[in-house]
Structure 1
Amino acid sequence: MTSAPFRRLLAALTCAGALLPAGIVLGSTPPAGYASAPRAIDFVVAVASRDLAQARADRRHGLNYADDETEARLAAAIREWLTDGNDVSLHLAPADRMSLFALYWSAQQMPANSNCFQDPDDDGCAQELAHWMGAVRDDAPAFLAAYHRAERSLNLPSLPAPANRLQTGSP
């Protein structure tokens, strides 16, 4: 059973993934010591683990997983990727990696006492996350700077030029 706030949280995550066109090729630069934030990593792991459970239950989910992916393996891969830059075990498409980074950056912007860190299903969390994911969609300079700093060390796909990004909302 998934609550409405968690579905909204995943919808925000999915919207961030829509920023990347299909077919982006990952770079091959080794990690360069990107600084990680444990609380934000825990939040990303919690959201991705819940999303994986939704996928396994044939329910709406935001990311695409390998058929044999497990919660434990996914959690370990995300932690290793965000702390050490090692993405060998992270079997996600470039757009999904970008979505996870957008979620990670959003979590880093939240105050330490954010409800998101205690209960991702909380209505307040969904609103707070939507605010920060909106900043991602709107190309907030702080997000773009963080993304470019992490691009090589986390083996993230290059961001397309703004004119080539998919836009959400009304035309």
Structure 2
Amino acid sequence: MSCPPASAPSAAAEASAQRYQWAVLAAVLRQGRLIDGCSNALAGLALLVLAALATTAWPWPSQLGLWAALGLAISLLAALAQKLTAARTAIDAQLLGWLACHASDAQQAASQLDAALQALGLKPGRSATPPRTWPQRQRACLRLLRRQAGCLLLQAATLALALALALLVLVRT
């Protein structure tokens, strides 16, 4: 017994599938808020440790104290990079959520989105490059979320190292 040939999906079914993809991707990108919250807590801890080091071990006579301060500074820079990436991730989540609710034609939505971003100066106007496809855009969104998580991991690792060094400095004073 053979199966009947698969019929081509209708335009309405394709549009519906695209809207579901946008909705799912928007929901995934919204998880960046959890990463941002963790980063905020770690940044607060880094600032507290930096203040404790500054008040108890000033002027950091040992190299250990300087290394601890450097680790804390790197952790705070990673927090800043994470915060900037979180803002971009949140914008993408909002845009994709809006597209999932209101857009019906993926190609038209892409061109209108690019035009709006260019009009606001948020996207460089390069007419020579072809517009990205939706799969390329979706991969870029997920790459942005992974970058945000990477910034959090860097922040946590440098903070852990700096905390270990700071404890050594504080114990010795």
Note whether the superposition's TM-score is higher than 0.5.
Answer: no
Q: Structure 2 length normalisation: TM-score?
A: 0.27
Q: Structure 1 length normalisation: TM-score?
A: 0.27
**Greater Rg over alpha carbons, structure:** 2
Higher helix share: 2
